[in-house]
Amino acid sequence: LRLKAVKTCALLHDYMKRRCYYLHIENTFEVLDGLKEFGCENNDDIILKCAYVTTKRCENEAVTAVFATNDKILAVKAAAHNIAVADRDVSFTVNVLI
């Protein structure tokens, strides 16, 4: 698990350095500014808000935002807000456009 976390952080850092438009990173003020759909009362709400904002931002783009999680409750909450969800059993190709 630790190795996967290190690899994921390295990948996110690389995307961040290349200013990848499809990577949404919120600052502290954005996190505190909760959407009315979620209220941002706990970590799940903050994660869902980020997925929701990214999904809305990509609505008119040639790409689809996909929320990847193995948390079944979080996946159900995301699906309730029309956020595409994938878990470890779904394989797909990721194309990063910069």
> Which SS3 state, helix, strand or coil, does residue 86 take?
strand
Per-residue pLDDT tens for 47-82?
A: 888 888 888 888 888 778 888 888 888 888 888 888
Residue 98 has pLDDT above 60, yes or no: no
Amino acid code (one letter) for 7? K
Distances 86 to 71, 74, 91 between C-alpha atoms, Å: 10, 11, 8
Distances (CA, A) of 66 to 34, 52, 69, 78: 21, 10, 10, 10
Domain map (residue ranges) of the chain: 24-86
Euclidean distance between CA atoms 86 and 58, whole angstroms: 17
What is the value of pTM for the model shown? 0.58
